[in-house]
Amino acid sequence: MSATARGYCATSDPWVVSNFALATRIDKGKPSFTNHTMSAAPSEKLPDGGAKKAIKLPPTEKSGDVRRRSFIVLSFWAVVVMLGLPFWWYTTSIYRANLPLDRMLEWADGKACQPVLPITVAFEAEGLAAPDAQELVRLTQGMLDQQSDLAAHQIRLQPGNTDDAALTLQFTPGKQMGATLDSREASLKINYPSGTTVSNPSDAAALATYLAQELRAAFAEERAIISHLLNQPLQNQSPETIEALSKRTTRSMRYASTYHLTFSLFTDGPSPSTWDIEEAVDRYMRPMLDILRPIHNFTVDTQLQLYATPGVQSQVLSKEDLSSFINAAEWPLSPSIGGAPTVNFVLFVGNQTIGNAGSDATSQSWMIPQWGTVYLLPLSDSTAHVDSEILRQPMLTFGGHLLTLLGTPQSGSLPLRLSTLTRIRSLDLLLHASSTLGSLARLSISLPSISIPRTVADGVAASLDHLEKACANLGGPEGLYHARIAESEAEKSFFEKSMVGQLYFPDEHKIAVYLPLLGPVGVPLVLGLIKELKGWKQRRKDAKETKDKKKQ
Amino acid sequence: MQSLFAWLLLLATAVAASDYHEQLTLRPLPLSSLLASFDFRSNTSFSDYESQNFRLFPRSLAQILQHAGTRELHLRFTLGRWDAENWGARPWDGTKEGGTGVEMWALVDAGSDEEADQKWLTLTNTLSGLFCASLNFIDETRTIRPVKSFQPEGHHTEAALAHSRLLHGVLPHEVVCTENLTPFLKMLPCKGKAGIASLLDGHKLFDASFQSMAIDVRPICAEGQECVLEIEETIDMVLDINRSKRPKGNPIPRPVKADELVCDQSKPYHSEDTCFPVDHLASPDWQLDQVFGRPMKGTCPLADATVPSVCIQVPDKRHVFTSEGSVQHKGADGQSRCYTMDENNDFTLFLARPDNPGEGLEVVEPETPLLYAERSLTGYGQEKGGVQAILTNPGNEDVEFVYLESLPWFMRIYLHTLATHISPNTTTAVDFSTPSSDIIKEIYYRPALDRVRGTQLELLLKIPAKHTVFLTYDVEKTILRYTEYPPDANRGFDVAASVITTLSPRVMNLRTTSLLLYLPTPDFSMPYNVIIFTSTAIALAFGGLYNIIVRRFVGADEGEQSPLKAKLAKLKEMIAAKLGKKSAAPEEKTAVEAL
């Protein structure tokens, strides 16, 4: 008991206030006086408060004790490293499925696929003998290949009549060279002087040159659009053409297999309150929609809204007014449900006029890019019913604008324009899917803390698979089909909801969770390790010195 | 009163052939209140609905209904409490109101329960966007499939009924406000621009003592005609006339001038300078554009002109003045009159103060309801509690009804404690002798599953004439998970109103108020406290253990002097030297230095 009291006086280190009353720390295993023992120590110290206190050194530790201490420290660390760390890692790590990042980036950079859109042109030459026709095909094809300035766009001539031809060449002997594009069918009618014989090389060359030139002219717009999509400008394109092409891109809606068409009649006052919209749609819109069916599906709905005040009240609408004319807050033009985008066709009954009509607007209607069309219809106040004859002009305008909104080229007959649309859409989808995959790859690289669920990896794999198939079959309906799936899979993967959930977990919270535990536990562990390492070094040094001494 | 609503109903069926009709019924209530019932009804033929040509039917809603395969939809937005003691029976027999908050039920086209759930989810999510309400929070735990209470109201074929499910969901916490009125008005053919809808103003509507907005979509098949899909939108509001009459720019109530005070002269203390005001008891005068804050802008040109736009239910003795060009039609019962008016001119209506106040013919006597119902929480503490519903039958006939409770899962009900007591009236002693089985005829009970679904309890009860039934049961309150508490957890959790559907003598609806259940709420800094506390405990234990194991213990005098201690001693000595320069012995100093 007296020893305890004395020990307490001697030290103020709180750790030592325990059964080991006389304990204090020893930092280094110093070689010292071996005749001292623990039991002898208290007897040496006298409570006289003697001014001459001898500095004593503790006895040397047994090497077994030192080793045991090292084992203890090491086993603590072994538990931490082998059990603690893996457990922590396992419970806090974020699942990141493996994404084929390199391939995704390759697709995004356009290295994975060199898109080639073959356009089959049937060569119907009834008046020509078969060998002659083949010779002419060979010559024209050579001419076309020679002139080709866009690798992606290839016109391929094929003798005979084929079903999947985008264009058919029809030859009729006539007085002079001439070519006309049929306004209804996808065919190019060629007149050639009746005296021409293909066996004559100069005649054949002239005809082939002419054919090549006409074919290139027929597909000029498509070639321009494709070059714009691929970002490979053609030679001698004027800035106006490039501007028109980018306008086409901004105007057209994103591809969807189904579109909702909403026809709305808005009026400022109480009348008209009925309209023959069903009949008008059947008569003026339906034929066009039927032709578009292979590429898109359409659903049609109509509504009539009275007392709808436009966003702009002025009598003459300036160009700036057009953008705010739609009163989005009050008009029930809510976006449709179920995934398919809506194309709005608004017929506004009112006597407002468009002043300062630019190239974008006719005197009565204007198109809102990627949204739809507004048509101003002046009617007398007493008109209570709008019959289908009045609706004719608005419907035709809507039809034309619908084609533009869908991204159809301007020139050529409708079948030709639609086959062009198929090819443009496939390429567009292919590029869009590739760039989405690229964005996803970059996202996953730049955000290491984002989780990537398995569904995303599956979606990416499916998308890549379909992209390859689409790339191999570009130009046909199969290519469009695969490109469509690839695009939707890529979009689905990119917008996967569960990726965003864990994204934001602030670091302050981590500190608040980890620090209270890791601070007090980690500090003794680390200090103990450091001390042990120091002691180990010292022992090695001492051992070396004694060795050297012995040698001497 | 009863006959008038029946007459209205008859009228409604008569004009079903017409496509749109609207009507406003005004009924002054006792204690200077005014009930205004707006009714808008339009329909579309099924062929138009399926080919998506919409004229009077709102396209936005129709698209949702088609997308979610909904055959029938009922949606209610309610705020406030209907004071049945003073105001009597509810308008529309209670069929056009919901519990506080948002309530909806729908008949969805589904062959299986899973399909029904899927469609219900789509429906609630899309409607939530359309009506700016948190309908998307009506999840599985708030959805029930009523067995007895709710039935399809429209006309359906047998095959259609066999292939559909009725689901009911309620959101008692939702605060109904102006943003719900705007989409409501947008769906009307004349918007809020003409007709009776031009009276609707968010400020007045949501300032009312009670208001309920309802939308009902149901198919109606008249014999020999094509089936139509009918949408009926109704708004019922009870205005406090004195409050509504306050001018817009000066809404603060001010004391009435002495000479304008109406005093009860029968009071013994009545004199020149003391007065018992009876203003609120008398039926005051009011003008339509004054209480609604805006005039009525003509009539909606699409509405059926044969249906009068505005009706008022007051005894014939009272004087009503209307603006020019309107024609008055008096009802046969001598207690109502209707007005047809000019299409383009503003309309207003003035109800004069009664000629002889206090004679009892100021307002149409409110009809006594079939049942009075109130419900409250009993018990104390945060663990257990109980619910008591007091159901009174004031009439002379036995009333049979279905009592429906849709309770949240965290309110665990002990069904074995369900008990009823009956008493001849509320004040006298309760009669315990009547067994519960005499009152409760049938029980349909679907127990709750934690976090999956709530409790559904439907009871078929019968109360004899002039009797009160006390229905009680005990509940246990659950401790929720940390993340399940809302931000305002200490406010309590709303428990949906119970729905009472009477079966005999006639069908009508009644809802109690919703309850506020107080759950045990933790301190929300708890997780960090727990982390820090346990970490500290672990660290203490670990540090002690580790140090004891790893450190070497030697004699106190054998250890090295810690450098801090040496410095401290030096400092101490320096201070001592400075303070006691003269007294300090020189040898002592050297002795310390030797240390």
The pLDDT tens digits for B139-165 are 889 999 999 889 999 888 889 899 999
Is there a contact between A27 and B187 if contact means CB atoms under 8 Å apart? no
CB contact under 8 A, A278 and B550: no
Start-to-end C-alpha separation, chain B: 109
Q: For chains A and B, what is the number of CB pairs under 8 angstroms?
A: 164
Question: Which whole number is the average pLDDT over B93-122?
Answer: 92
B255/B408: higher pLDDT: B408
Specify the higher pLDDT residue, B164 or A156. Answer: B164
Q: Which of B187, B196, B551 to mutate to test the interface with A (most CBs of A within 10 A)?
A: B551
Residue B16 has pLDDT above 70, yes or no: no
Buried b (16+ CB within 10 A) or exposed e, B64-83: bbeebbbbbbbbbbbbbebe
Q: Are strands B286-287 and B53-54 parallel, antiparallel or unpaired?
A: unpaired
Model confidence pLDDT, tens digit, residues B465-478: 888 999 999 999 99
CATH assignment of B372-517, given 2.10.77.10, 1.10.10.10, 2.60.40.740, 3.40.50.10490?
A: 2.60.40.740
- Maximum mean pLDDT: which of A413-417, A522-526, B388-392: B388-392
CA A272 distance to own-chain centroid: 46
Q: Token digits for B212?
A: 């309920």
Chain B residue with Cα closest to A32: B558
Q: Tell me the shortest Cα–Cα distance from B531 to chain A, in angstroms.
A: 7
Residues of A in contact with B129 (CB under 8 A): 334
Query: Which two tokens mark A515?
Result: 């620090």
pLDDT confidence of residue B433: 65
Q: Which residues contact A294 (CB under 8 A, 6 or more apart)?
A: A418, A422, A477
Q: Closest Cα to residue B210, out of B41, B369, B86?
A: B86
| B35-57 confidence digits (pLDDT tens) | 999 999 998 888 888 888 888 89
What's the pLDDT at B428?
A: 56
pLDDT at B359: 61
Q: What is the pLDDT of residue A291?
A: 83
Residues of chain A found within 8 Å of residue B302, distances taken between Cβ atoms: 270, 273, 306
pLDDT at residue number A49: 44
Kindly report the nearest CA distance between residue B503 and chain A, in angstroms: 40
Type of residue at B63: Q
Out of A37-51, A208-222, B123-137, B323-337, least confident range: A37-51
- B124 pLDDT band, cuts 50/70/90, is very high
- Mean pLDDT over each residue of chain A, to the nearest integer: 78
C-beta atoms of B555 and A61 within 8 A: no
- Rounded-to-integer distance, Cα A541 and Cα A205, Å: 97
- In eight-state DSSP terms, residue A30 is -
Which residue of chain B is at minimal alpha-carbon distance from A267?
B190
What distance separates the 2 farthest-apart alpha carbons in chain A? 142
Residue A274 has pLDDT above 80, yes or no: yes
| pLDDT for A14 | 39
How far is B54 from chain A, CA to nearest CA, in Å? Answer: 5
Which pLDDT score is estimated for A424?
Answer: 85
How far does the CA of residue A316 sit from the closest CA of chain B (Å)? 24
Whole-number percent of chain A with pLDDT over 90? 9
CB atoms within 10 A of CB B595: 13
Strands B346-347 and B440-446: unpaired
- pLDDT at residue B499 greater than cutoff 70: yes
Structure confidence at residue B583 (pLDDT) = 53
**Which two structure tokens, joined as six digits, stand for A160?**
């005979």
Distance CA B455, CA A410 (A): 63
Give me the pLDDT at residue A152, please: 77
The backbone region for B320, taken as left when phi is positive above 0, alpha when psi lies in -120 to 50, beta otherwise, is: beta
Report which of B184, B192, B213, B217 is spatially closest to residue B38, judged by C-alpha positions. Answer: B213
How many CB atoms neighbour CB B118 within 10 A? 15
pLDDT of residue B11: 44
Within 8 A of B55 by CB-CB distance, chain A residues are 273-274, 303-304
CA distance B550 to chain A (A): 6
- How high is the pLDDT of residue B18? 55
- Please judge whether A512 and B302 are an interchain contact, meaning their C-beta atoms are less than 8 angstroms apart: no
Q: pLDDT by residue (tens digit) across A492-541?
A: 999 888 777 655 667 777 787 788 878 888 888 898 889 888 888 988 89
Identity of the amino acid at A288: M
> Searching chain B, which residue's CA lies closest to the CA of residue A62?
B552
Percent of chain B residues past pLDDT 90, beyond the cut: 36
- Model pLDDT for residues A278-289, shown as the tens digit of each residue: 899 999 999 888
Check: complex ipTM more than 0.85: no
pLDDT at position B454, please?
92
Residue of B nearest to A519 (CA): B539
- Is A73 buried (19+), middle (13-18) or exposed (0-12) by CB count in 10 A? buried
> CA–CA separation, B54 vs B42, rounded Å?
11
What type of residue is B459?
Answer: L
How close does chain A come to B64, measured CA to CA in Å?
A: 7
Q: Where in chain B is the domain with CATH 2.60.40.740?
A: 372-517
* Arithmetic mean of pLDDT, B55-72: 91
The winner for highest mean pLDDT among A150-154, A246-250, B179-183 is B179-183
Out of B51, B187, B550, closest to residue A73 by CB: B550
> Residue type for B410, please?
F
The predicted pLDDT at position B82 comes to 92
Q: Which residue of A has its CA nearest to B58?
A: A303
In single-letter form, the type of residue at position B472 comes to T
Q: Tell me the C-alpha distance between A195 and A199, whole Å.
A: 12
Q: Rank A182-196, A428-442, B325-339 by mean pLDDT and report only the highest.
A: A428-442
Tell me what pLDDT residue B226 has.
83
pLDDT higher than 70, residue B588:
no
d(CA B158, CA B293): 49
| Structure confidence by residue, pLDDT tens digits, A190-219 | 777 766 666 677 777 878 888 888 888 888
**CA distances (Å), B541 to each of A87, B504, B544, B546, in order?**
21, 73, 5, 8
**What pLDDT sits at residue B235?**
94
Identify which has the larger pLDDT, A434 or A511: A434
Spatial separation of the C-alpha atoms in residues A489 and A483, rounded to whole Å: 10
Of A72 and A294, the structure prediction assigns the larger pLDDT to: A72
Are A300 and B52 within 8 A, CB to CB?
Answer: yes
Task: Band the pLDDT of B166: cuts 50, 70, 90.
Answer: very high
Q: What's the whole-number average pLDDT of chain B? A: 85
The reported pLDDT for the residue numbered B272 is: 80
Taking an 8 Å cut-off on Cβ atoms, the answer to whether B55 and A303 are in contact is yes
Model pLDDT, residue B582: 53
Pairing of strands B33-45, A274-275: unpaired
CA B115 – CA B112 distance, rounded (Å): 5
Nearest to A23 among B539, B542, B553 (CB): B553
Question: Which of B189, B302, B550 has the CB atom closest to A528's CB atom?
Answer: B550
Write down the pLDDT at residue B581.
64
- Give me the pLDDT at residue B7, please: 47
**Helix, strand or coil, per DSSP, at residue A357:** coil
Which residue did the predictor score with more confidence, B509 or A221? Answer: B509
B310-312 and A297-305 strand pairing = unpaired
Structure tokens at A266: 């808005």
Given pLDDT bands bounded at 50, 70 and 90, which one contains residue A451?
confident
Length of chain A: 552
Residue B585, pLDDT above cutoff 90:
no
> Are the beta carbons of B59 and A332 separated by less than 8 Å?
yes
Q: Are the C-beta atoms of residues B103 and B115 closer than 8 Å to each other?
A: no
Say whether pLDDT at A43 is over 50: no
User: Does the structure show a pLDDT above 80 at B370?
Assistant: yes
Quick check: A25 and B551 CB within 8 A? Answer: yes
pLDDT at res. A464: 92
pLDDT at A26: 42
Binned at pLDDT 50, 70 and 90, residue A127 comes out as low
Alpha-carbon distance A19 to A30, whole Å? 25
- pLDDT of residue B234 exceeding 90, the answer is yes
Q: What is the mean pLDDT of residues A475-504?
A: 82
Check whether B9 has a pLDDT greater than 70.
no
